[in-house]
Amino acid sequence: MAQCPAGIPSAGNPQCIPPSAWPQNAPAGAAAPAGPTWKLTWGAIAIDLDSGDVGTAVGKASKRKAEREALNRCEASGAKGCRQVLFAYENQCAVIAWPSVVGVGAGVIAQSAATVEAASEIALKRCVGTSVGDSGGCRIVYSECSEPVLGPP
């Protein structure tokens, strides 16, 4: 058992906090101190449908910030037609499934789910049959998770 300083009872109080700090002795209406909280984060995928260039963002505080960063990264890759956010997602994992042969922007699938594996399974099923002149050979070309972060209250 912990040794408590003189005057602080140890019975039922193994951490030896003074009685004034016990929750049952708190003044009426006093709120417990706020602890850290989980903050949800956003991710986004932008694409230039003509060139196939992609820009992505994860871990952003808002959907707008994630979309803006994805568009900026798409343009930074040299693409001229990055005007479209293909997909935005919150507190999930996302993948891009890409057909082996793609008609102008057709067949590219973005999918989110709780895990990369679950998103990949769904995306690949959706991608089959979307390729032009192909039997549906698709592959995952991008995967990332935008996960919650523990931050101050």
Q: Which pLDDT belongs to residue 11?
A: 55
Between CA 57 and CA 72 the distance in angstroms is: 9
Residue 53 lies in a domain: yes
Q: Give domain status of residue 52, yes or no.
A: yes
* Residue 1 pLDDT > 50: no
Q: What is the pLDDT of residue 12?
A: 54
Flag whether 27 is in a domain: no
Domain assignment present for residue 65? The answer is yes
Over residues 59-75, the mean pLDDT reads 95
Q: Is residue 28 part of a domain?
A: no
In a domain, 90, yes or no: yes
Q: Is residue 9 part of a domain?
A: no
Report the DSSP beta bridge partners of residue 39: 149
Q: Is pLDDT of 96 > 80? A: yes
Instruction: Flag whether 71 is in a domain.
Output: yes
What pLDDT does residue 64 have? 97
Per residue in 18-54, pLDDT (tens digit) is 666 666 666 776 666 678 888 999 999 998 877 878 8
* Confidence label for 133 from pLDDT (cuts 50, 70 and 90): very low
The number of domains in the chain is 1
What pLDDT is attached to residue 21? 65
Rounded Cα–Cα distance for residues 120 and 102 (Å): 18
Q: Is the distance from CB of 74 to CB of 53 less than 8 angstroms?
A: yes
How many CA atoms lie within 13 Å of 90's alpha carbon, on the beta-carbon side? Answer: 7
Q: Which residues 6+ apart lie within 8 Å of 127 measured at CB?
A: 97, 98, 99, 107, 109, 136, 138
In this prediction, residue 104 has a pLDDT band, given cuts at 50, 70 and 90, of very low
Q: What angle do CA 37, 65, 149 make, to 5 degrees?
A: 20
Torsion sign across C-alpha atoms 49, 125, 87, 151: negative
What is the span of the domain harbouring residue 84? Answer: 39-148
